Amino acid sequence: MRRGFHWIALAVVHLAIWFFSGSMAGDSQVYDPHALDEFFQQFVNRTLHHPRTGVLYNITLPGRYSGMEVSVIRMRSSTFWVRGTNLSAFYIPPRVILKPNVKTLGIIYQNLRNWSSSYYQVPGYRLVVPVVGFIAFDASKSDGVGTQMLNLTVTGNPITVSFHPNRTEQGNNTVACVKFGYNGTAFLSNVTSPNSCVVQGQGHYSLAILIPPSSREKEKGAWRWWVLGLAGGGIAIILMGLCAWAVYETVMRNKIRGMESESERGIPLEVTWVRRSRMPSASMLRTQPVFLESHVPFS
């Protein structure tokens, strides 16, 4: 019994350590943005069949990605070179060079909306608009968007992305353009016109404001209290379960002892050992045969 409680106590300690370490890591990035891009590209190739060139298609995502928006367009490279294109928040001007040069390209547009902070974070800053992005692929040999990513080189006017931030969220703070690199690294730059950013290629972009030091301390303090509350509640539930288990074990042991004492009041039986269990046994008697000395003949 004591040995069992010893192992259970160790399990509770390890669980508490795991909970605190996992909770303290909550400030770090939770999801992988590169894996999300790969999922969008694979999902579009599976679901988009024989799309028309120059038509923008809205893709319906699985339930676990609800809230995100994904659109796809296929274009001939000659049309893309002469006219460029508009993709919701993005304006891609003419005279953009594709590397390598392909016959047809596919562009995936993304708007992560309320999932933005789960995939992209800027230390010391807060995002005030959802993260949007676009990625171009070689679609010459595919019905979807293909698998080979293209590089874009701007030779004329730059690519621009326009946002519509919430004025209440923005307040009087200075807004900065944010470009997220391939591995999620953030690069800050100044806005060119109200709520617009100039970019030089494909990727993911947003607007962010600097978090004041006082607000950072308040957020950290609130987060610590949340962690302590959740950890305390989890440990309390575990301890209640252990107490219930101990009570159950005590009741069962008392019941077994009562049954043993009751059996000892009856006819005493011999005791035998079966492996490691002590069990009662009765001596076995065999009925003795009876021999008849006289036989009465049948009449």
CA pseudo-torsion sign 229, 234, 240, 246: negative
Please state, in angstroms and rounded to a whole number, the distance separating the CA atoms of residues 158 and 177: 15
Q: What is the pLDDT of residue 233?
A: 80
Q: How far is CA 282 from the centre of its chain?
A: 63
Which has the closest alpha carbon to 168: 206, 129, 204, 194? 129
Local structure of 246: helix, strand or coil: helix
Q: What is the pLDDT of residue 20?
A: 46
Q: What is the pLDDT of residue 236?
A: 80
The residue written with tokens 């949007």 in the block is 132
The fold adopted by the segment(s) 31-211 is: Chondroitinase Ac; Chain A, domain 3 (2.60.220)
Domain ranges of the chain: 1-28+213-260, 31-211
Question: Digits of tens for pLDDT over the chain (299 positions)?
Answer: 444 544 455 555 455 444 444 444 444 456 899 999 999 999 999 998 888 999 999 999 999 999 999 999 999 999 999 999 999 999 999 999 999 999 999 999 999 999 999 999 999 999 999 999 999 999 998 888 888 999 999 998 999 999 987 765 666 778 999 999 877 789 999 998 888 999 988 999 999 999 887 655 555 555 566 667 777 787 888 888 888 878 888 888 877 777 766 665 655 556 666 666 666 666 555 555 555 555 555 54
